[in-house]
Amino acid sequence: MTANPPATTPSDAIDLTQKHLYINRELSLLEFNRRVLDLARDETMPLLERLRFLCISSTNMDEFFEVRVSGLKQQIALGVTTPTADGLSAAEQLARIGEAAHALVAEQYRVFNEELVPALAQQGIRFARRTHWTPDQAAWVKRYFSRELQPVLSPLGLDPSHPFPRTLNKSLNFVVTLEGKDAFGRDSGIAVVQAPRSLPRLIKMPSELCRKDHGFVFLSSIIHAHVGDLFPGMHATGCYQFRVTRNSDLFVDEEEIDDLKRALEGELPSRNYGEAVRLEVADNCTPITAEYLLRQFGLGADDLYQVNGPVNLNRLAALVDLVDRPDLKCPAFTPVVPPAFGGSNIFDALDKGDLLLHHPYESFTPVIEFLRQAARDPDVLAIKQTLYRTGSNSLIVDLLVEAALAGKEVTAVVELRARFDEAANIDLASRLQDAGAHVVYGVVGYKTHAKLLLVVRRHKGRMRRYAHLGTGNYHAGTARAYTDIGLFTADRVIGDDMHKIFQQLTGLGRVTRLKKLLQAPFSLHKGIVERIHRETNAARDGRPARIIARMNSLIEPPIIRALYQASQAGVKIDLVVRGVCALRPGVAGVSDNIRVRSVMGRFLEHSRVFHFQNDGGAPEIFCSSADWMPRNFFRRVEVAFPIEDARLAERVRRETLEFYLNDNCQAWELQSDGSYKRVKPGQQKPRPAQGRLLAQINGFNLT
């Protein structure tokens, strides 16, 4: 497809590269986490789900510091001065981040202490604080400490022969101040106690000690109460929990190594001991002790976060499973298997036309069954699949192993560099290799992020390709929690395009033109820009024009400029961007016609769907594995695939776009100043997108 650049109009006199037209990526990411925290405050949500959202916001902050903040610190250390599209240098970004992050962390603990703890107590779920233990509870805690904790704790007194210990990334530790001398006459006055990760951070008390309530005690409280027992003959004058967050990005120079798998295996242990980027301490920690810890980790005062509660809120997620209160959780639901997949042979069904799944409302089982039938069908000759995240004990991997052992040609493109899943992917790659599958790790310098499964089968004496393409990973667990689209097709052209992509990934050769699929890093960016320009030209000529796009993140400057030009031409543009958005809507003369909203709820919104009016023809709808980010367009192998069946295209438009544009319960509108405003139903009928889909597909009653 080709399209001319948009014609020149007076509005083009505006410089669309001006920094005020772009929102900073890191600050937008913090705004996303603020919306997650907002769900923890949402009283329409079940109480334990609110706690879960608080934990998610804490986990998100961990990753933000491990990856984003550490990256900015590295830029400063290396002298990188190139500003981002919004004009901020790395140092300026860190300053702005520090202010926003401290405020966000303070709000997390306020929500925990002032909203969730009282609400949980009203439901008989209590956290027993040291100052409120009954004598029986205190006696039970002492026994628990002696029996379960003391044997595995190793207090470390600090002196010239015992330097400050290496602390694992995000591990729970205690710094203890002491008075007196030990058996050797040492009086350094300070020690560190490290809590092994194997220890639970939340311990349930016997029900008879809690008046039939659900009573819990923090591990930190137990250690704090009995830390003196670890230093016999000395007096503990202070005990303060702390946690350090470290740079967790792995660095492997792919141009200088011979074996990526072996290199990553060597790098993984270092993740726990990267450069420190944040220090969290209890709010009662003395300034002298906090300064001492900052010096040990080479951090400044801005890197210190003093918190009123456990330093690792995300460990509270265990409470959701420890408390058997279905009334305080989202109601369970069973993903449905569409009738089209009810036959005994999926290949026969695909011979009749394309099929589609909308997860998590529809089951992931047909994807597994498709691979199972392929592994066991004597007419199937080859299976090719990309694997980005599959989870441990993956049935997908089991079936690929079964197919390889059965003598079929199995090719797996395993992305070893899927962040935080590197170790699991190394293990599954080894399993597949041991079974005789062809395992490759993609292309040097490009992550393979596309979600593709191709089956080559003998059909009526001829070879035919059957395919599955998705917006999400081949992971049965996340398929129950993430919203994603999966397309099954036996379309000859799409099958041929996928064959060419696998040839690129496993072999050598020049790029060949694809006919239906858009592929990064070659045609996806160009294809999206051309389609935006087509809508722009249509609007300027007075013809119908419309763009609706849904994704996780939007930060790629040329795409944003193209959207600004389309807006200037009069194209109505609706963007559903769950997370980071650098585009600034509502700027006079630039983005008046652009509306940006974020929708969040029980399920993680993960689908990428792009709708273009197509100048009076049949609207084009693409689903994709790619967000609109530079890395997705230029440093990854990604695919966008068209939904060509008119019935399926209408379904995708309605369920993934229209419902979300009309959501007035779990939607936030992006304002021109970069903040988000939550949409309220007011006098209107509530229209939660996820709730409506549960009702429509799974038969849930919303009343």
Structure confidence at residue 308 (pLDDT): 95
For 417, the domain range is 340-515
CATH of the domain at 147: 3.30.1840.10
Using CA atoms, how far apart are residues 519 and 497, in angstroms rounded to an integer? 10
Query: What residues are paired with 608 via a beta bridge?
Result: 624
438 and 565 in a common domain: no
**Closest listed residue to residue 633, CA positions, set 559, 578, 535, 703:** 559
- Of the residues 301, 328, 355, which one is the last residue of a structural domain? 328
Q: Residues at the annotated binding site?
A: 60, 389, 419, 482, 578, 606
The answer to the question of residue 202 being in a domain is yes
The answer to the question of residue 4 being in a domain is no
Residue 348: pLDDT above 60?
A: yes
503 and 357 in a common domain: yes
The answer to the question of residue 703 being in a domain is no
Mean pLDDT confidence for 344-362: 95
What are the φ and ψ backbone dihedral angles of 311, each rounded to 5 degrees? -75, -5
DSSP H or E run through 21: none
Residue pLDDT, tens place only, 166-180:
898 999 999 999 887
Q: Are 189 and 179 in contact (CB under 8 A)?
A: yes
684 and 603 in a common domain: yes
Q: pTM of the prediction?
A: 0.91
Mean pLDDT confidence for 595-608: 96
157 and 17 in a common domain: no
Residue pLDDT, tens place only, 379-428:
999 999 998 888 778 899 999 999 999 999 999 998 776 555 566 667 78
Q: Are 19 and 87 in contact (CB under 8 A)?
A: yes
**CA–CA distances in Å: residue 315 to residues 131, 206, 226:** 22, 20, 22
Q: Residues at the annotated binding site for ATP?
A: 60, 482, 578, 606
237 and 373 in a common domain: no
350 and 309 in a common domain: no
Using CA atoms, how far apart are residues 522 and 637, in angstroms rounded to an integer? 9
312 and 251 in a common domain: yes
Residue 476: pLDDT above 80?
A: yes
Using CA atoms, how far apart are residues 371 and 153, in angstroms rounded to an integer? 48
**Closest listed residue to residue 189, CA positions, set 203, 175, 207, 200:** 175
The answer to the question of residue 290 being in a domain is yes
> How many domains, the chain?
3
543 and 492 in a common domain: no
Distance of CA 416 to the CA centre of its chain: 17
**How wide is the angle at C-alpha 256 spanned by C-alphas 255 and 257, nearest 5°?**
100
Structure tokens at 357: 């799944």
Q: What DSSP string runs through 689-702? A: HHHHHHHHHH----
Q: Kindly name the residue from 224, 358, 449, 611 that is annotated as catalytic.
A: 449
The answer to the question of residue 315 being in a domain is yes
The answer to the question of residue 334 being in a domain is no
**How wide is the angle at C-alpha 633 spanned by C-alphas 627 and 637, nearest 5°?**
95
Catalytic residue at 449? yes
What are the φ and ψ backbone dihedral angles of 470, each rounded to 5 degrees? -140, 165
Q: Residues at the annotated binding site for Mg(2+)?
A: 389, 419
Residue 250: pLDDT above 50?
A: no
240 and 283 in a common domain: yes
Q: How many CA atoms lie within 13 A of 229 on its CB side?
A: 14
3-state secondary structure (DSSP) of residue 608: strand
549 and 501 in a common domain: no
The answer to the question of residue 225 being in a domain is yes
Query: What residues are paired with 610 via a beta bridge?
Result: 549, 622
The answer to the question of residue 5 being in a domain is no
Structure confidence at residue 422 (pLDDT): 66
Mean pLDDT confidence for 616-635: 94
**Closest listed residue to residue 523, CA positions, set 431, 642, 618:** 642
Structure confidence at residue 254 (pLDDT): 40
Helices and strands: H and E segment counts in the chain: 21, 27
Using CA atoms, how far apart are residues 389 and 392, in angstroms rounded to an integer? 9
Residue pLDDT, tens place only, 77-122:
888 888 899 999 999 999 999 999 999 999 999 999 999 999 999 9
CATH of the domain at 393: 3.30.870.10
> Residue 259 — very low, low, confident or very high, per pLDDT cuts 50/70/90?
very low
360 and 324 in a common domain: no
Q: Are 441 and 262 in contact (CB under 8 A)?
A: no
- Of the residues 304, 328, 352, which one is the last residue of a structural domain? 328
484 and 534 in a common domain: no
- Of the residues 498, 515, 532, which one is the last residue of a structural domain? 515
Residue 37: pLDDT above 80?
A: yes
Q: What DSSP string runs through 336-362? A: B--GGG-SS-HHHHHHH--EEEEETTB
Residue pLDDT, tens place only, 298-335:
999 999 999 999 999 999 999 999 999 999 999 999 99
Q: How many CA atoms lie within 13 A of 359 on its CB side?
A: 28
